[in-house]
Amino acid sequence: MFGRRKKNEAPVEPAEDAALADEAETGEDDATQQRLNLPPAPRPDGPWDVSEVKEPGQGRVDLGGLYVPGVEGMELRVEVAGDAIVAATVVLQDSAVQLQAFAAPKNEGIWGEVREEIAAGITQQGGVIDEVDGPLGWELRAQVPVQLPDGANGVQVVRFVGIDGPRWFLRGVISGQGAVQPQAAGVLEHIFRDTVIVRGEGPMAPRDPIVLKLPDDAQMVPDGVQQDQAGGSRFGGGVERLERGPEITEIR
């Protein structure tokens, strides 16, 4: 039902409508840019830059670009891109957290921008994204469509967490029970917080992965090959083996 305009009420011209819409859109874009271009926030609980830790190797596994905390009963897997090791995944019972560090601008964090890109990619796949302020700061909780081993369609729940540091960015992908059960997530969140990042002083483009290395006495075990628990290893905090693993562990 249409109402009659009052006699003294001036009509809004289409050009005015367009101008108002453009102004609102510009305001939203400016607000988005201000949110995305924030400097790195303080990290009183970690993760740590190597300059902030006296003995980074104490209780941690030295992977070159990352020092990963050792936890009793965990397995450590590495992710390989070509000939370079670019990520490490800590598996603990039915949960896992993948750790990957990237170069970042000196005075600008990239986690806000990365979150938007991850959310857009998962939404395009038909997944569902929820952005929440969690125990590690702003994170994405995603329901990602997957095909199960029996061919049926399923949904995998994954948490994407991230922290901006001085010239680096650390991303974590929590999967398995740690993505849905707070009790299981606690240890994985501690591992993420207590990781030490070694950015190095050499020039790197923003978002370039910080390359990792295997410890000197580690052996690469192909994914799926079982290995007896290593006794007497210098990874005594619970690192039982290093193996090449999947980027995201399936929930079954």
Per-residue pLDDT band for 106 (boundaries 50, 70, 90) equals confident
What is the domain partition of the chain in residue ranges? 48-216+237-244
Whether pLDDT at 94 is above 60: yes
Q: What CATH class is the domain 48-216+237-244?
A: alpha beta
Instruction: Please report the sign of the dihedral spanned by the C-alpha atoms of residue 186, residue 189, residue 191, residue 196.
Output: negative
3 state SS of 186? helix
Q: Which residue has the higher pLDDT, 44 or 243?
A: 44
User: How far does Cα 89 stand from its chain's mean position?
Assistant: 12
Quick one: pLDDT at residue 217? 64
pLDDT score for 212? 94
> Is 7's pLDDT higher than 90?
no
Percent of the chain with pLDDT over 70: 71
Is 11's pLDDT higher than 60? no
DSSP string, 86-142: EEEEEEETTEEEEEEEEE--SS---HHHHHHHHHHHHHHTT-EEEEEEETTEEEEEE
Q: Where are the beta strands (DSSP E) in 42-94?
A: 48-49, 60-62, 66-69, 75-81, 84-92
Tens of pLDDT, residue by residue over 126-184, are 999 999 999 999 999 999 998 888 888 888 999 999 999 999 999 999 999 999 999 89
Which pLDDT tens digit goes with each residue over 59-70? Answer: 999 999 999 999
pLDDT higher for 249 or 179? 179
What Å distances lie between residue 189 and 25, 141, 157, 183, CA to CA?
A: 37, 14, 16, 10
